[in-house]
Structure 1
Amino acid sequence: MNPLRDRGLLHPVALGGALCVVVIGFGLFALDRADKAFPPPLEAASQMSREVLDRDGRLLRAYTASNGVWRLPVRLDEVDPDYIKMLLAYEDRRFRSHHGVDPVALVRAAFQFVSNGGRIVSGGSTISMQLARLIEPRSQRSLTSKLRQMARALQLERRLSKDQILSLYLTLAPYGGNLEGVRAASLAWFGREPKKLSLSQAALLVALPQSPESRRPDRRHDEARMARDRVLGRMRDAGLIPASEIARASAAAVPSRRLGMPDLAAHLADLAIRTHPQTDTVRLTVDGAIQGRLEHLASETAARLGPKQSLAMVLADGRTGELLASVGSPGHLDAARSGAIDMTRAVRSPGSTLKPFIYGLAFEDAIVAAETLIDDTPADFAGYRPRNFDLDYMGEISIRQALQFSLNVPAVRLLEAVGPQRLLARLRRGGIKLQLPPGGAPGLAIGLGGAGVSLRDLVQLYTAFVNDGVALQLGDGTEIEPVSHFEHPVIQAQAGWRVADILSGVEAPQGAPRIPIAYKTGTSYGYRDAWAIGFDGRYVLGVWVGRPDASPVPGLSGIATAAPLLFEAFVRTGLDRVDFPPAPYGLIEPSRGELPFALRKYKAGDETATASAGGALPPRIVYPPQGARVALGSGGSGRMMPLVIKLQGGVAPYRLIANGLPMPKPTRRRVLNWNPDSAGASTLTVMDAEGRAASVSVFIDTN
């Protein structure tokens, strides 16, 4: 007897079952090894269009993928859920239940093919099989290619979730021409993201991938409409959508032309792509809605400007330093206006736009007040003879009016007092380095535009007026390194408030909207550049108008050309106006009659001194002289040696004011010692017992 047979182990049925188990197991093992050896080519789906997004994730600008197609990534939550329901109902009703291949759909498609004389009525491909065809396209349709799609579909189902498969399909499906994916299609045919679609739009997007070229709305409009209506009819017959809604959707127009992709902030977007070459999606600080409105305004304005003229605008949040909009030209493809040049970064003459910082330094040094009188008369500053823009002079005028009217001679008088070097040093605190003429030393001309600066830099400087005197470095999202913050103020908070208060009283240009902003205009020499920089309690907006080649434009000016655009741009932003802050604690703005004697009328150091009622001449600093560069050693102690200041005239006691800060105690001596905190430009003011003052600007250096 055979023990194995007695135990039933050699029974034919048992042997057959065991053999089946072995064969099935070997087959599954072989399929698993083949699946791992020949995975689906998902890397083909990784080539996407690069995107530049705004602060809220909205598309500003996109770039075609390396193969020249528009293929924008999409998540399911970014697509209208009603469209997804319609797609699955039309293409793959059992998508959520099958494993890549739907036998029921295959049998139905085969039966319809035979019963209709070899005509395809409906396909048996699932969404997974269609995705397999998209990632591994084949030119010929055959039984072999269909079987390969089925195998790939099974592979995809093993690796990806249903939502991942559906998301990939919505990213790769063709929609005509070089459009791939539902986002690119929705933007090109409807000008909107697919987050919310009408019933007609959703039906068209369901129909297009089946035969994208023969149904292209811009080339085969009737075929596209009929394909859309077939989808709508299927939804009606299935009872998924009421007949009344189907009728309305069928009456809706089908687009007859393809729209351009979003193309906002082109200069900034190009920079973002260059500085982040390995990143597919870059998010900027720009507000897409504001950017679009300002670009539209730029196009409108360009149509009114002369040929070859351009313009630029920069809007920043002065409290955070974030760039909210940047218009580099009226159109980056407008070759006649050199639109490819980003004029927000072009270095140009700033005209009078730096004057507020000159006045701010003068307020710091207590050499003038808002109601101090100053002469606006012809003057000669060692051969430099500035003239006003209108070639006229106003005579004796207040500091407030001199700044509001942007008079040149008073500004140069004050710049001579505070010193050009010190002005440059303060601008550097705001991260700005003026571009001086080759080999040129900083002189009084920089106060009237005799240096170079960009619109973006000017807006950055003006953030000091809404941030307690501290400028903020502008950030836009293109930076590789984090944006840094400046430690030292461009101007002291009280001086900055005084300047802002004066500029807020400048009347709006004729015909411009009446909105509560402070602003300053500028016109460069030869009518080459027109500027207007404005701000409220938070936002700073700058405008430049001119020709990119720096050619003169007769009649161009800041007040007539740039200022109206500034006011209109502020309105177009749609931002709520932010009130100016109240005066800093302890700040008093006296009337002219309440001013100390020395502040009632400004007199430069070289003007003829007059004796006081008691016969004493006003104080005068005889050392160090105006503009001196003084080297102070440390004397081995690690601290700089004191600077000796020598006086003549005046009535004791005297009080020294260094860089706007008064020394704690007055003195009766005419030789004073001052210990500077650091090297650099400084302004020294001495005031006597009768309130008369004298000032010099010096540069402290170390050995």
Structure 2
Amino acid sequence: MPLRKLLPQTKFKSPFLKKATISLGCLVTAFLLLDFLFPFKPKVQYSTQITADNGTVLHAFLSPDDKWRLYTNISEITPLLQKTLIHKEDQYFYYHPGINPFAMLRAAGRNIFSGKRTSGASTITMQVVRLLEPKKRTYLNKLTESFRAVQLELHYSKDEILQLYLNLVPYGGNIEGIKAASLLYFGKAPQLLSLAEITALTIVPNRPSSLHPGSRNDALKIARNQWLTRFGKEKLFDSNVIQDAISEPLIVRRLSAPKQTPHLALRLKKDFTDLPIINTTIKIQSQKQIEEQVKNYVNRLQSMNIHNAAVLVINNETMAVEAYVGSADFNNPFDGGQVDGIRAIRSPGSSLKPILYATAFDKGIITPKTVLNDVPTNFSGYEPENFDQHFNGQVTTEFALANSLNIPAVKILKEVSTTVLIDKLKKADFQTIRKQSKDLGLSMILGGCGVTLEELTRLFAAFSNEGELKQIRFTSETPISKKGEQLVSKEATYLLNNILTQVTRPDLPSNFDNTYHLPKIAWKTGTSYGKRDAWSIGYNRKYTIGVWVGNFSGEGIPELSGANTATPLLFSIFNALDYNSSKGWYQMPANVSLRKICAVTGDIPSDFCDHQIIDYYIMGVSPYHKCQHLRYVFTDLSSKISYCTYCLPESGFVKNTYPNLAPELIAYYESKKIPYQKSPPHNPFCERVFREGAPLITSPNDGSEYFIQTAEPQQIQLSCQTGNDVQEVFWYVNDKLVKRSAPHEAVFINPPVGRVKISCSDDKGRNSDVQIVVKKI
């Protein structure tokens, strides 16, 4: 069948109509072909805007071509702005296809009869094309401009074209767009502009030199009022509205671009390079308030040579960062104001102890009332001390954590293992610890590692969220995590929260004004070695706030401490944000209960325990050891000689109880001359050799190298820890006796050069050996 019979046949009654239709079809076909071959894809380089959670512009950056060209959302184009602009620039904007033929004919007639160009016919769409592709004004370029305008109308909606116009319209200098002009001339967002201000801004692009805001305000006001009068005559607005606008003073001056939250702004601009608007979760009032608090607080510390501080505020429910203060003054070049203290890697001091204790709770190693020995201890050559250089003897776990004691923390870490703690911190995304993991040892719990304020604050937010670690949200586009990763159990965090809420602790600020207005929070402080960093991180149900105080130069300050330097600022911020929190406190989980324990050890009471107290424990997890703080000893009737079962006589003996003390505790009591009940010396006629309880050599360290000077050889100290039944020890060097001494007496020797064997035997025949290497220098 012929093709012509398959196609619908159109019959034209008029040859002219037929030719017109064919011409129109050819024109449309040609336009579509040209549109395909020469597509119009506007690419505008916008300035980067950082906004608060309510849309307020916090910070703005120049565009890549050094323009203040701030992207304007359609929602920011108010009906008043739209109505005024369209009436002035293009009243038929919503009706024409990009070009207005009637306006073009009118303009052509005027130009022909006057012999010069008296009026134009550019629509808003054509102006957008001209702003996107500026060219010399010729008839050929005008034709190209018209073609592009129709292209624009074909691919974009009217609202989008209007939005493009308002983003590109020039206002003199390097200011482009209504939003940039509104912020830099009036200091407000476009949606807050009055009719008088809108009118002033709509007429500036027509005469940018003669009506330049700030320098030509008188001329701008006259032109504004002329247009307002015209609007009134054309019944665009009510007469009373026009009169109010005319009476409004014109106060315009060139303002600086917004520069708030500079540290966060620079960070987000680097992370989101392609976004014209980055909507943060910052609450502008909280940000301003905390910035002021930090600045004033650091000013008061200047006399102590302390120059900086950083604060991070996280909303625990949404994990949104509501305040981000990287330093006391970003514009201070002398004290490192541009350093971001929230991401700076510093030593954490004791601020990692809570995660260690929570992990130990989960592993069933301790409970809050478990008794630990805070006495001098040698951990294979590592001998930590407490912050105040004092020791407390036997203390409970909660006392050790609340008072930030170092020896108990290192002992717990040794039992938990550094590998387990490092894995926890890796899980919490501690980046520097991830890199340092192979080199970290027991000292990490006392600050021997690197952390950031952001990492620590996020970790403590997990304690507030029942052990769930969630992602921090800096932007509103980041989704809220409904379920986080369980870092520690909710039972462990409950025990931890009870301890960190206590106020009878040394890291409570000594300043009465701060303690009088103490907020209901859990908090932990930290002071790095050399007093270079002071930390205080606190939380309640609503907020977690991290505070760092110090110098970015790393200079140590004798007066610097987490308790008296960082915590007052923490309390001040909590009092300002959430003093009487309506969120309540943490409820005890179903798997946490109370039980009676021995007050001396924190273990399950045995027959010896006559003093019992109540302690929290995690059912099925917490340790269930029977108390062994006393032990039975067979003695003679006068309790001057003890017997073992090997030498126990048939009669003339009694069974008594004596303290079962650890050798390290005995050594501490001996060194401090603290009286304690000792077991009687063992039967001297007993021939049995004891194999258990051999002396523990604490100095020198097994496998260590010692260097001594040839001219002035130094002595090496020998020391050990023994059971409380030992009266005398014997020291041997390379199997030769060099000294008999009391168990806790310090002995000094001049060792030979080379590999040296050092042995210690007690009066029960028990022996220990260590090997060292001595070299001369």
* Aligned: 1:217 with 2:213: yes
- State the match for 2:333 in structure 1: 335
Identity of aligned residues (%): 33
Report how far residue 353 of structure 1 moved. 0.6
- Pairing 1:244-263 to 2, within 5 Å after superposition: 244-263=240-259
- Pairing 1:471-620 to 2, within 5 Å after superposition: 471-476=469-474, 489-490=487-488, 492-506=489-503, 509=509, 510=511, 511-512=513-514, 513-571=517-575, 573=577, 578-589=583-594, 598=603, 610-611=630-631, 615=657
Report how far residue 584 of structure 1 moved. 1.6
What's the secondary structure of 2:340's corresponding residue? coil
Q: Contact 2:426/2:433 (CA < 8 Å) preserved in 1? A: no
CA–CA distance in structure 1, aligned partners of residues 306 and 75 of structure 2 = 46
- State the match for 1:644 in structure 2: none
Which deviations, in whole Å up to 9, do the C-alpha atoms of 1:452-484 show, x marking residues without a partner? 111122122223312323433435469999999
Report how far residue 349 of structure 1 moved. 0.6
* Aligned: 1:134 with 2:139: no
- Pairing 1:263-662 to 2, within 5 Å after superposition: 263-278=259-274, 282=278, 290-291=286-287, 293-306=289-302, 309-319=307-317, 321-330=319-328, 332=330, 334-364=332-362, 368-371=366-369, 384-391=382-389, 398-432=396-430, 435=433, 442-476=440-474, 489-490=487-488, 492-506=489-503, 509=509, 510=511, 511-512=513-514, 513-571=517-575, 573=577, 578-589=583-594, 598=603, 610-611=630-631, 615=657
- State the match for 1:680 in structure 2: none
Please say which structure displays the higher CA radius of gyration: 2
User: Which deviates the most, 20-29 or 452-461?
Assistant: 20-29
Report how far residue 570 of structure 1 moved. 3.4
What's the secondary structure of 1:505's corresponding residue? coil
AA partner of residue 556 (structure 2): P
Report how far residue 114 of structure 1 moved. 11
- State the match for 2:94 in structure 1: 96
Report how far residue 581 of structure 1 moved. 1.5
* Aligned: 1:229 with 2:234: no
AA partner of residue 41 (structure 2): E
- Pairing 1:111-150 to 2, within 5 Å after superposition: 124-139=121-136, 141=137, 149-150=145-146
Q: Contact 2:371/2:600 (CA < 8 Å) preserved in 1? A: no
AA partner of residue 158 (structure 2): K
What's the secondary structure of 2:525's corresponding residue? strand
Q: Contact 2:319/2:471 (CA < 8 Å) preserved in 1? A: yes
Which deviations, in whole Å up to 9, do the C-alpha atoms of 1:508-545 show, x marking residues without a partner? 64334532211111111122111111111243221112
- State the match for 1:241 in structure 2: 237
AA partner of residue 540 (structure 2): D
What's the secondary structure of 1:527's corresponding residue? coil
User: Which deviates the most, 561-570 or 447-456?
Assistant: 561-570
CA–CA distance in structure 2, aligned partners of residues 371 and 253 of structure 1 = 72
Q: Contact 1:429/1:486 (CA < 8 Å) preserved in 2? A: no
- State the match for 1:174 in structure 2: 170
AA partner of residue 497 (structure 1): Y
CA–CA distance in structure 2, aligned partners of residues 619 and 37 of structure 1 = 95
- State the match for 2:735 in structure 1: none
CA–CA distance in structure 1, aligned partners of residues 171 and 261 of structure 2 = 27
Report how far residue 391 of structure 1 moved. 4.4
Report how far residue 44 of structure 1 moved. 4.0
What's the secondary structure of 1:335's corresponding residue? coil
TM-score by length of 1: 0.72
AA partner of residue 516 (structure 1): K
CA–CA distance in structure 2, aligned partners of residues 269 and 622 of structure 1 = 65
Q: Contact 1:533/1:540 (CA < 8 Å) preserved in 2? A: yes
What's the secondary structure of 2:183's corresponding residue? helix
CA–CA distance in structure 1, aligned partners of residues 242 and 389 of structure 2 = 73
Which deviations, in whole Å up to 9, do the C-alpha atoms of 1:246-298 show, x marking residues without a partner? 34434444344333444455444444444455555555555566445544544
Report how far residue 550 of structure 1 moved. 1.7
AA partner of residue 583 (structure 2): V
Which deviations, in whole Å up to 9, do the C-alpha atoms of 1:122-172 show, x marking residues without a partner? 765432332232223235x56666565555444544444332322221121
AA partner of residue 501 (structure 1): N
Report how far residue 196 of structure 1 moved. 3.2
What's the secondary structure of 1:567's corresponding residue? helix
User: Which deviates the most, 525-534 or 471-480?
Assistant: 471-480
1:79 alignment partner, one of 77, 80, 101: 77
User: Which deviates the most, 361-370 or 209-218?
Assistant: 361-370
Q: Contact 1:311/1:546 (CA < 8 Å) preserved in 2? A: yes
CA–CA distance in structure 2, aligned partners of residues 135 and 483 of structure 1 = 42
CA pair 165-364 structure 1, distance change in 2 beyond 3 A: closer
- State the match for 1:655 in structure 2: none
What's the secondary structure of 2:41's corresponding residue? helix
CA–CA distance in structure 1, aligned partners of residues 475 and 320 of structure 2 = 9
- State the match for 1:188 in structure 2: 184
Q: Contact 1:388/1:409 (CA < 8 Å) preserved in 2? A: yes
Q: Contact 1:506/1:519 (CA < 8 Å) preserved in 2? A: no
CA pair 409-251 structure 1, distance change in 2 beyond 3 A: farther
CA–CA distance in structure 1, aligned partners of residues 483 and 337 of structure 2 = 32
What's the secondary structure of 1:520's corresponding residue? strand
CA–CA distance in structure 2, aligned partners of residues 154 and 431 of structure 1 = 53
CA pair 300-219 structure 1, distance change in 2 beyond 3 A: farther
* Aligned: 1:164 with 2:152: no
User: Which deviates the most, 261-270 or 231-240?
Assistant: 261-270
Flag structure 2 segments of 5+ consecutive residues without an equivalent.
Answer: 1-11, 605-611, 616-624, 633-654, 663-690, 697-722, 724-777
What's the secondary structure of 1:406's corresponding residue? coil
AA partner of residue 136 (structure 1): E
Q: Contact 2:74/2:159 (CA < 8 Å) preserved in 1? A: yes
CA–CA distance in structure 2, aligned partners of residues 243 and 160 of structure 1 = 36
CA–CA distance in structure 2, aligned partners of residues 383 and 152 of structure 1 = 80
2:34 alignment partner, one of 34, 37, 62: 37
Answer 1 or 2: higher relative contact order, Cα 8 Å, separation at least 6. Answer: 1
CA pair 104-166 structure 1, distance change in 2 beyond 3 A: same
What's the secondary structure of 2:341's corresponding residue? coil
CA pair 80-482 structure 1, distance change in 2 beyond 3 A: closer
Flag structure 1 segments of 5+ consecutive residues without an equivalent.
Answer: 1-13, 627-648, 650-703
Report how far residue 68 of structure 1 moved. 2.1
Which deviations, in whole Å up to 9, do the C-alpha atoms of 1:369-426 show, x marking residues without a partner? 4455656566655554444434456666554344333343444454455444443343
What's the secondary structure of 1:533's corresponding residue? strand
AA partner of residue 196 (structure 1): L
TM-score by length of 2: 0.66
Q: Aligned residues, how many? A: 605
